[in-house]
């Protein structure tokens, strides 16, 4: 439970807000690379944390992310022509490069004052990087800009990963909390009746890895015990359920500042999953989704399955809007809900979206009643609120200056109940906070 | 004409308003019974007087009407599972009964504090009743709750009645006024030219009852003289038009507090009609419509006709939205309007909806010019405004404690012009204010 | 560039604003005549400068433009019956004439007070005129009403003109500025590559008039030199581009107060074009478009071309909404934009609409960087702002009292570079400010 002021602080990310300032110390995804598929391709509208922008890929393959209105007469550069190393306004032909510099003032006389005037004209332009099939931007102060986070999915060969995006019609924070709240798997994603393993897990993995045991453990223990520890990039969150004998079934997720969540299901050799929650405004966000396998290429069958909507990947239309969404009640099937699945909604991603959207466009955290299974989100909020407050007091977030701290994994394992989380992590990943180590899968 | 303050007072029904408080001393329809067709069927969203709620029918056939957000994490119980005597949140499985009591906190440890914590959790839940194929709710203080109003349509066998609902896209009060304003029949519902009786009246009744005379009397006298008298449940409103010889044609309607109107057309042996106007918010309402015959079952032909849209019943889609509505100008046919009907709009209900919607989402009563034919709505407003003010001063509305006062009829008759309303009523109904009496039809 | 206060002053036209007051000293188009095609035809909704009105054509062919709500009970007269010399409310039959006078209070007793009460009832009604296939209205003070502007398109025979309208989804002022800004032709409307003359000009005219030269001159000189001079009705704006040898190619437009723009392309013998920008509210406007030829009837082929969308005339649906509009990004074709046209958008009118809409619903003029080619709009703004301020100080706009000052032409010509604008005008039109003179085409 938060008071109303903290709920505002957590959820508002406009440029003038403390949380918006915190976000602007980190690189954030703004597009999939495929949305700007080649040099000089059409420009694209971007809205991120309430800012309206235009993105384009220039002749030299550089990505521009600039304010949309031409400084001459205010026409929108989205309708401009993406020409030789610059975007040209369709109204009177003024031209700008990826740095926002004005290359040509077509309607201005080339007199003595021209160059001086041209140099004064400058569009707001944000630095961009491309990695992991995603275009990232840095919207903060130039002097505090650092390297991209060293997330593993960006470091594996393209053959080893699958990247997608999906619209979510609610505030970023509740969507992110949904990914960190691993207790809900016992309910939201569960099937009803005998047919346990269907629909909720990756079936191809299930065959290979004893998935039915995991589903059984999750079904039977809805009160996982949480252990949280902080590291350079964020928080590792272990949730332990009773398994067989004296064993615990651990599902361990990672929260990486300010808006990444790595999923807790992966056993050694299986695919890893992660999501990044990027505010469009305070009532909607884009979720960037990535699945990767450090050891092998993803198969075509896996790619097809992810593309059709599977695990974190949603079934989306050509604008990355989920087919099953807030406006159509996620095509809930009440007969299915009665007899076969907890929600009657198809898709793990869609089930998450439904329940997170249903909290409201911005969840009201003043009326919650949290318990021990909510420890993950409690710690997420505390870290984010403290970091935002610290930054407002002049102290930069540590994680922003520790890009290597993001090279971590999250996943599942079974361990004897006597083992604490750091030992479980070391056994599973070779490192107590999950840093990627050679010889571990 | 009202001043702006009284117009606000009359039309606003949120929980914090005086009129909203007055409404909350009465039972109000919130759903048709068929919207919750059987035990453990899917839950349904309800919005009434600005309050968002979720309704469900439990395993014991009890109706729950509760606030929608689960107190654990705020997920919406509309997406929940309607299970054995309770609705279970789809997020983490917390479960609630029709009284809003928490039956199970699935994610909370069953330790010493569990029961105490569970007892503290309680959803706002409103009492409900089912009668007349309608689900009623009481949203007011528990200590002032009374019995359901004893309206006749709820007391006849199901075979003798037809119940429907329809959306209206304007404030409740102007819709209700439209039903009480019987003077408009001379204009709004009238046909043009020779073909008088078409389209405006129940043709099957017309054949049996001299309908053509009534249409002629209505056409010829657009200035009915009103007599109003107050009774336990509201107001009886008689409107007398010149008939043949020294006779008057009386059309007598009933307003029953706070939002019911009984229609004035019924001659002995014909079907009775009534409508109840329930605010969704201050700019839209649901109208519940009921036709009944105390003496005989309705025929299949009648049911089919009502279902297709006839008299007070509108032609609606599967969500009870009228096919001809504000958004499509009621499919007005201007050729039809020129040559055959006063409005060019098909359906008495749709004609009413058109003209009431056209006053604005909330009619501006400060610019009206009322005359003697508006006496009915003047008295309606006065009663409602006085009752709301009295309640704010601590005096409960009398009608709420007189459920038997609602067992009244409204209808038409012909009487000699020397007879005052109470004598006309006694002759027609056996009672001066229309209380249902044996031997009268 | 304007400061924020002047931007507000320029763009807001509600009745309580200074610019709204200025507009209300002039006649403004409110409908095409064809929207009220014959006596006693159906009434039509009108919204102009934020005012909601109803228009109807009565039995005597007079046009009424009245406030919509019946003074009896507030029903909307749009749903009324247009009967013998008046519109009758569909609710209770009160009837009003084109002057807003109440002809009949059907529900009021015809007693001694009737006539006095009837005379007190009066709807706001604005004077109307019909000319040039357009219905004009005067929304200002009666005592300052003058004659219709003597625009030439209204004076030629119907066979010689084509009139249309189109919705634009932005503020009136930026749409008007787009028409006065003739510099943008070098960019916005230009084709790419060799195929110069296609798509941008009237092809039938091009064949007859050396259109290819003009396109070449426009393409080669994006910095026309502006000369502006004021006259009784507004401003004549000459823009001179380098032509061949020592010649200049002049494109001369007219701004006529408060919202008319005549197009600069016409050579002697070609068709003339003009547009009038009428605020619906502050974020949308109707543009009335007129093409005329003083010397000959327009051909059927020309009419068909204008009807399909050509030059200033847009391709519109049955409600005069452009097929290519803000909501569908004007069906921009990015391949077309890359290889064949500057915008990838089909239609000169649609290209204008795109770029003007793209400035925002209300352009932010505080962030502009204007140069010499923007002199036309600078002078337009200055004239309008000064006129609005003067009116607020009690000084009526001169143009409103000079209807004959509107009988001017705009168009193009080629002249030796030594000639100043007034001499160029006199050579082209027979008059230094373009007043229509015998013997000129």
Q: pLDDT digit string (tens) for A160-173?
A: 999 999 999 999 99
Say how many C-beta atoms besides its own lie within 10 A of residue A294's C-beta.
Answer: 18
pLDDT tens column, A386-398: 999 999 999 999 9
Q: How far is CA B21 from CA A88, A383, B391, C435, in A?
A: 61, 44, 8, 70
Contact A69 C367 (CB under 8 A): yes
CB-CB under 8 Å, A367 with B69: yes
Ramachandran assignment for B42, one of left (phi > 0), alpha (psi -120 to 50 degrees), beta (any other): beta
Give yes or no for a contact between C171 and C285, defined as CB atoms under 8 angstroms apart: yes
State the pLDDT at residue A192: 82
- From the list C225, C221, C249, the residue with the least C-alpha distance to C237 is C225
Tell me the residues of C at the A interface, defined by beta carbons under 8 Å apart: 181, 183-184, 186-188, 222-223, 332, 334, 337-338, 342-343, 345, 351, 354-355, 358-360, 363-365, 367-374
Q: Please name the chains neighbouring B, where neighbouring means 3+ C-beta pairs under 8 angstroms.
A: A, C
Q: Are residues B55 and B192 in the same domain?
A: no
Q: Are residues C116 and C203 in the same domain?
A: no
The two structure tokens encoding residue A190 = 């569960």
d(CA B272, CA B263): 7
Q: Which residues of B touch C (CB under 8 A)?
A: 181, 183-184, 186-188, 222-223, 332, 334, 337-338, 342-343, 345, 351, 354-355, 358-360, 363-365, 367-374
- For residue C90, give the nearest of B343, B360, B371 by CB distance: B343
Name the token pair of B64: 């729950």
The tally of domains found in chain C comes to 2
Cis peptide before A258 (omega within 30 of 0): yes
Tell whether A53 is covered by a domain: yes
Which letter does DSSP use for residue B41 in this model?
P
Range with lowest mean pLDDT among A88-97, B253-262, C210-219, C242-251: C210-219
Q: Per residue in A208-256, pLDDT tens?
A: 446 889 999 999 999 999 999 999 999 999 999 999 999 999 999 999 9
Average pLDDT over chain B, rounded to whole?
Answer: 95
Interface test with B, best of C41, C52, C71, C107 (most B CBs within 10 A): C107
Residue B163 lies in a domain: yes
Which of C85, C115, C144 finishes a domain? C144
**Among candidate residues C120, C144, C168, the one where a domain is terminated:** C144
Chain B environment of A189 (Cβ under 8 Å): none
**Same-domain status, C136 and C213:** no
Same domain, A139 and A156: no
Q: What is the CATH number of the domain that holds A211?
A: 3.90.380.10
Q: Is residue C13 in some structural domain? A: no
SS3 A418: coil
Please state the rounded mean pLDDT for residues A188-210: 57
**What single-letter DSSP state applies at residue B178?**
H
C108 contacts B183? CB cut-off 8 A: no
What would the pLDDT profile of A258-292 be if each residue is shown by its tens digit? 999 999 999 999 999 999 999 999 999 999 999 99
What does the DSSP assignment read for C302-348? HHHHHHH-BTTB--B-TTS-BSS-GGGGGG--HHHHHHTBSSS-S-H
Could you tell me how far CA C106 lies from the centroid of its own chain? Answer: 41
Averaged over B383-408, what is the pLDDT?
98
Instruction: Give the pLDDT of residue A182.
Output: 85
> Per the domain annotation, does C172 fall within a domain?
yes
Least confident residue range of A205-209, B405-409, C37-41, C90-94: A205-209
What is the ipTM for the molecules in this complex? Answer: 0.94
Shared domain check, C238 and C178: yes
Are B264 and B325 within one domain?
A: yes
The model's pTM is 0.95
Do C111 and C162 have their domain in common? no
What is the model's pLDDT at position C198?
A: 45
Taking the C-alpha atoms of residue A32 and residue A355, their distance in angstroms, rounded to an integer, is 26
Give φ, ψ of A73 to 5 degrees. Answer: -125, 10
Residues C134 and C193 in one domain: no
Segment among A207-221, B308-322, B330-344 with least mean pLDDT: A207-221
The three-class DSSP label of residue A121 is coil
**Angle, alpha carbons A418-A421-A425 (nearest 5°):** 115
Peptide bond into C258 cis (omega under 30): yes
Q: Is residue A13 part of a domain?
A: no
A438: in domain: no
Q: Considering B144, B176, B210, which residue would you say is the last residue of a domain?
A: B144
Q: B364, C69: Cβ pair inside 8 Å?
A: yes
Closest partner residue to B369 (CB to CB) among C71, C81, C109 is: C71
Query: Does residue A200 register a pLDDT over 90?
Result: no
Q: Helices B4-11 and B172-180: crossing angle, nearest 10°?
A: 90
pLDDT of residue B411: 97
Quote the domain boundaries for residue C80: 27-144
Chain C residues whose CB is inside 8 A of the B345 CB are: 79
- pLDDT tens string A288-316: 999 999 999 999 999 999 999 999 999 99
Query: What is the tens place of the pLDDT at every residue in C125-178?
Result: 999 999 999 999 999 999 999 999 999 999 999 999 999 999 999 999 999 999
Q: Is B208 in the same domain as B256?
A: yes
Are A217 and A89 contained in the same domain? Answer: no
The per-residue pLDDT for range B179-226, each reduced to its tens digit, is: 999 899 999 999 886 554 444 444 444 444 468 899 999 999 999 999
Compute the C-alpha angle C257/C44/C172, nearest 5°.
30
Q: Which residues of B touch C117 (CB under 8 A)?
A: 369
Residue B208 is predicted with a pLDDT of 44
Give the minimum alpha-carbon distance from B376 to chain A in angstroms, rounded to a whole number.
Answer: 43
CATH (domain of A105): 2.102.10.10
Residue B16 falls inside a structural domain: no
Do A208 and A102 lie in a common domain?
no
**Averaged over C180-198, what is the pLDDT?**
79
Domain membership flag for residue B333? yes
Mean pLDDT of chain A: 95
Q: Do residues A224 and A373 both lie within one domain? A: yes
Mutation to test the C interface, candidates A73, A77, A116, most C Cβ within 10 Å: A73
Q: What does the DSSP 8-state code read for residue A384?
A: H
Section B98-110 average pLDDT: 96
Beta bridge partners of A165: A288
Q: What is the pLDDT of residue A386?
A: 98
């Amino acid at each position: 439970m938060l008071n109303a002021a903290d709920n505002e602080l957590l959820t508002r990310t406009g440029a003038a807000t403390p949380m918006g300032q915190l976000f602007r110390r980190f690189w954030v995804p703004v597009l999939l690379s495929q949305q700007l598929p080649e040099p000089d391709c059409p420009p694209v509208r971007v809205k991120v944390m309430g800012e309206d922008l235009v993105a384009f890929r220039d002749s030299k393959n550089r990505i521009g992310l600039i304010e949309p209105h031409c400084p001459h007469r205010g026409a929108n550069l989205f309708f401009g022509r993406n020409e030789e190393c610059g975007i040209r306004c369709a109204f009177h032909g003024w031209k700008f490069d990826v740095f926002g510099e004005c290359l040509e003032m077509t309607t201005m006389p080339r007199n003595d004052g021209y160059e001086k005037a041209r140099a004064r004209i400058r569009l707001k332009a944000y630095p961009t990087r491309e990695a992991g099939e995603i275009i990232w931007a840095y919207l903060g102060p130039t002097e505090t800009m650092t390297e991209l986070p060293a997330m593993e999915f960006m470091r594996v060969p393209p053959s080893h990963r699958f990247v997608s995006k999906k619209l979510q019609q609610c505030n970023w924070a509740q969507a992110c909390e949904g990914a960190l709240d691993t207790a809900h798997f016992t309910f939201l994603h569960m099937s009803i009746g005998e047919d346990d393993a269907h629909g909720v897990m990756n079936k191809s993995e299930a065959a290979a890895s004893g998935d039915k045991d995991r589903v059984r453990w999750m079904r039977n223990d809805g009160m996982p015990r949480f252990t949280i520890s902080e590291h350079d990039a964020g928080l590792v969150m272990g949730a332990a359920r009773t398994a067989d004998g004296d064993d615990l079934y651990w599902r361990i997720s990672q929260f990486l500042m300010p808006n990444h969540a790595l999923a807790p299901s992966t056993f050694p050799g299986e695919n890893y999953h992660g999501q990044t929650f990027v505010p469009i405004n305070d009532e909607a966000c884009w979720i960037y989704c990535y699945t990767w396998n450090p050891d092998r290429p993803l198969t075509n069958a896996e790619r097809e399955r992810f593309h059709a909507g599977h695990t974190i990947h949603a079934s989306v239309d050509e604008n990355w809007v989920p087919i099953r969404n807030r406006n159509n009640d996620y095509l809930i099937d009440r007969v299915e809900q009665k007899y076969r699945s907890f929600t009657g909604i198809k898709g793990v991603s869609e089930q998450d979206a439904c329940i997170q959207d249903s909290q409201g466009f911005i969840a009201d955290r003043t009326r919650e009643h949290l318990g021990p299974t909510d420890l993950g989100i409690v710690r997420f909020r505390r870290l984010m609120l403290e970091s935002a407050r610290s930054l407002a007091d002049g102290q930069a977030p540590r994680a922003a200056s520790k890009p290597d701290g993001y090279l971590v994994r999250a996943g599942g394992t079974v361990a004897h109940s006597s083992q604490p989380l750091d030992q479980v992590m070391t056994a599973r990943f070779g490192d107590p906070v999950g840093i990627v180590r050679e010889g571990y899968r």
